[in-house]
Amino acid sequence: MANQKIVSINPATKEEIGSVTSDSIDTLTPVFERAQKAKESWAGLRLNQRARRIRFVRKTLVAHMDELSELIAAETGKTNWEGFLEVFTTVEHMRHIGRHGPEYLRTELRSSGLFQNKRSYINYVPHGVAGIICPWNYPLILTATPVVEALMAGNTVVLKPSEVTPLTGQRMAELFHEGGIPEDVLQVVQGYGDVGAAIVDSPLTDMICFTGSVEVGRKIAVACAEKLKPFILELGGKDPIIVLEDANLERAAGAAVWGGFSNCGQTCISAERIYVVESIADEFIELVKSKTSDLKTGPDKTNGDVGALINNHQHEKVMGHIKEAVANGANVLYGGNDLSDLGGYFIAPTVLEVTNHESEIMTRETFGPEIAIMRVKDETEAIEKANSSSYGLSAAVFSKKKRGQKVARRINAGSVCVNDIMTNYLVADLPFGGVGISGIGRVHGPEGLHGFSQIQAIMVDRFGMKKEPWWYPVGPGIQKLFKILTRWIYG
């Protein structure tokens, strides 16, 4: 696939909007070598100097906000508003990292315990060259955030955007360079899976961060394990909502509709499974149907609500899940119809009531504009069903606040919102990542920056005595003294 033209298609119109050239495998080694060469000078900058560069980049992105919003919308098929929200979320994360990154990465004193003649602390030092492989569904925020965290931590970056949305990643990197990030510190390579595999396999990359499918994530984990190379995996989800009888149903229904249909449902933390207690199910379902019926789907990027799916493969997958659910007894409460006649990869926002918990629409990530509702007897059954999935990325609970927080503790998920949905991703200080097959490691917050760092423990002798008591030779008096001290301190 070397030097192959990669064409970017607008999913809402199926029109070409631009192209890039795929890098060949034999041209990647010089890229990695430049990143290796640049890593010492970049890591040598003080934390405040790196933070200042990130602030300059943020201002550059804001200056090009409208351009980026329109490019994102064109490459992904989402609305202009959704494209803007992606830019907004990106610069908010950059604001937080630029302000708090030095604090999270500074030298941290640790207790020396009994050894008061020692000074102990830890340093957060960069891995070196970070290979970052990014997805198509949010081509700016899911690219910029790990890149900025890697840079703030002192790494150089080799970035591969998705081959489905190559233009956004390319333009983002250009703006980073314009904002003051040296070209060898952040390099972009374009291509398909073979280019991503080369980044993972290269001995010149020191860590990997991948956002994408579980299947590819497993392959990356195996490849990194063979080389003992650190990695962060942000993978898929089959995210549940639990709606209990004391919930604010108006808010819960609004959250379900926005969580299920924003970005055409192509969000790893979207609302895919909803478990609602029987006693309030009818009222909740009517609210969801009513709110869904108000949504406008189609190529109108200015006034529309729900845009297009990314491509024909995703369109067929979502329609297949809906048909399989109906074959297994699901009732289509709203939507379910193919809207390809609008000129793009459109499907009507779909609300289903499901009775078969083993159907694909309840067990496999759909990644499309559908929400599946299932009635449950009580809180206990809702939690059991929510936890029955191998995924564990995100969840939401709607109930009285204290009760909701107690339920949240019992959910197997890396993130849980109480009386909200997906907003946790906007909170830049909260770590983000999954359990189970939804991933390993975290981005965002101090945990994210630490994931792009190695922890180096330092111990310094304070007084310079001639020798330590346990060094050779150890006489009987010292041995006796240590036994007395052990009984006195620990006995």
Active site residue 134: no
Residue 466 CA neighbour count, 13 Å, CB half: 2
| Distance from C-alpha of 291 to C-alpha of 258, rounded to nearest angstrom | 9
Is cis: bond before 299, omega within 30 of 0?
no
173: nearest Cα among 154, 163, 159, 162 = 159
Tally the residues of the chain.
Answer: 491
Residues 6+ apart with CB under 8 A from 34: 184, 187
Would you list the DSSP string of 223-239? HHHHHT--EEEE-----
* Residues 186 and 157: beta-carbon distance below 8 Å: yes
Per the residue annotation, which of 209, 264, 268, 417 is the catalytic one? 268
432: nearest Cα among 14, 153, 197, 142 = 142
Active site residue 316: no
| Distance from C-alpha of 108 to C-alpha of 125, rounded to nearest angstrom | 12
Residue 266 CA neighbour count, 13 Å, CB half: 27
DSSP, collapsed to helix, strand or coil, labels residue 402 as: helix
91: nearest Cα among 443, 428, 451 = 428
DSSP, collapsed to helix, strand or coil, labels residue 183 as: coil
Which residue type does 38 have? Answer: A
Which residues partner with 7 through β-bridges?
Answer: 19
Would you give the DSSP letter of residue 297? B
Helices (H) then strands (E): counts for the chain? 16, 18
Q: Which residues of 356-379 are buried (b: 16+ CB within 10 A; e: fewer)?
A: beebbbbebbbbbbbbbbbbbeeb
* Residues 187 and 132: beta-carbon distance below 8 Å: no
Which is it for the CA torsion 399, 401, 402, 404, positive or negative?
A: positive
DSSP, collapsed to helix, strand or coil, labels residue 19 as: strand
Strand ranges, E, within 350-393 = 350-353, 370-376
Tokens 């499309």 belong to 368
| Distance from C-alpha of 458 to C-alpha of 36, rounded to nearest angstrom | 25
Per the residue annotation, which of 234, 353, 360, 379 is the catalytic one? 234
| Distance from C-alpha of 233 to C-alpha of 221, rounded to nearest angstrom | 8
Which residues partner with 418 through β-bridges?
Answer: 397
Would you list the DSSP string of 379-424? HHHHHHHHTTSS--SEEEEES-HHHHHHHHHTS-SSEEEES-SSGG
Which residues are part of the catalytic machinery?
Answer: 234, 268
